[in-house]
Structure 1
Amino acid sequence: MKRKLAELSLKELWRLFPIILTAHQDCWANWFKEEAGLLRENLPDVGRISHIGSTAIKGIWAKPIIDILMEVPRKERLSNLQGRIEKCGYICMAENNCRIDFNKGYTLQGFAEQIFHLHLSYEGDNDELYFRDYLQANTAIAKEYEQLKFNLWEQYKYDRDMYTLHKGDFIKQYTQKGKQLLAGRYSNK
């Protein structure tokens, strides 16, 4: 009997889907554009759809996973969009009142060729945009972030939670700097 991903333990999932870093690939921008087009076609009423995460920052190594931030108007209930997102091939991974996170490209055989993490949030809940823009504008800081990820890679190759946790202070610091420098860039008018 074939098991489903949802039936695997966290330890089994981390073994099947280890942290992998790779040099920046130009195709990532196109993968984002194609996926954003699919999402926009199936969810025309959503707001901004943005490419976030390290794959959106040229010149640094990244996990080959396209992170997408999709913002929706506050009048919309996030849960009302879940079914339409799942019809686009996504699996709901986590949810709370303010966000729902989805993954696409995870199989029982490991990673598919294209992997996506979709972060569904309300308009204005977009700190990731400030972090991305700050790193895009500050190559030296982007390289520091890349080095931090290299340092964590082998130690936490099979523990995504710890890998993410140990990047947290760096991300907070430079998100705040980005918000100060780019104040209001992504506020809703």
Structure 2
Amino acid sequence: MRTKHVVVLPYDQKWNDEFNKIKDELLKELNGKVISIEHVGSTSVKGLSAKPIIDIDIVIKDYASFDEVLHGLNRLGYAYEGNLGIPGREAFKYENKPQFMIHHIYVCTKDSTELKRHILFRDYLRCHKKAVEEYSRIKEEAAALYPDNIEKYIEYKSPVIEKLYREAGIV
């Protein structure tokens, strides 16, 4: 069993500012090589409590452009980790970027199922205040109940995520 301290904080506007700082660095290297750079995950939804980690999807046309983006990310200090068991989402890690908030970088093709799920869920939450309130509450409860067990945290909030996915038409 993997343990990781789980911290969930109330929404903070600085998360969007931090995303934009990271996006600006990415665009210096990747501009013209990608379709878009998307702020996804809980920190991308105003009012939603979240673990303070920025999730970023870099969108490419198809895998023909992946190597060029991979090399650009390498030049910026990101190392390729593979898809980590999630097809259609290529993960990257980094070390020593103290100028930025903790973040996750993923590269997805524009037709990726994972990208579509990220965008649909983000956009659904952005338009449904009650869903944001419900999801925030369950995430805060999960973090309080399982502060040192990320697997249990995820397990606890999964039924609400599945419910919200159904409401959003994702599943």
- State whether TM-score is above 0.5: yes
TM tier, smaller: 0.7 to 0.9
Name the structure, 1 or 2, with higher relative contact order (CA <8 Å, separation 6+).
2
Report sequence identity in percent.
23
2:18 to 18, 31, 35: 31
2:125 matches 1:138 = no
Secondary structure of 1:154's match?
Answer: helix
Q: How does 1:94-109 map to 2 (within 5 A)?
A: 94-95=82-83, 98-104=88-94
Letter in 2 for 1:70: I
Aligned to 1:50: 38
1:73 to 53, 61, 71: 61
Q: Kindly state the Cα deviation for residue 172 of structure 1 after the two structures are TM-superposed.
A: 4.0
The 1:105–1:53 alpha-carbon spacing in structure 2 relative to 1, beyond 3 Å, is farther
Indicate the RMSD between aligned Cα atoms, in angstroms.
2.9
TM-score, normalization: structure 2?
0.78
CA distance in 1, matches of 2:142, 2:96: 22
Higher helix share: 2
CA distance in 2, matches of 1:19, 1:112: 22
Aligned to 2:118: 128
The 1:33–1:170 alpha-carbon spacing in structure 2 relative to 1, beyond 3 Å, is same
The 1:156–1:106 alpha-carbon spacing in structure 2 relative to 1, beyond 3 Å, is farther
- Any gaps of 5 or more consecutive residues in structure 1? 1-8, 181-189
Count of aligned positions: 164
The 1:70–1:175 alpha-carbon spacing in structure 2 relative to 1, beyond 3 Å, is farther
Secondary structure of 1:114's match?
Answer: coil
The 1:102–1:75 alpha-carbon spacing in structure 2 relative to 1, beyond 3 Å, is closer
Q: Kindly state the Cα deviation for residue 92 of structure 1 after the two structures are TM-superposed.
A: 4.0
Decide whether the 8 Å contact of 1:55 with 1:62 is kept in 2: yes
1:113-164 CA-to-partner distances (Å, cap 9, x unmatched) read 6111112111132211111111111101111111111121133322323423
CA distance in 1, matches of 2:99, 2:155: 25
Decide whether the 8 Å contact of 2:60 with 2:110 is kept in 1: yes
Secondary structure of 2:72's match?
Answer: helix
Secondary structure of 2:101's match?
Answer: strand
Aligned to 1:186: none
Secondary structure of 1:69's match?
Answer: strand
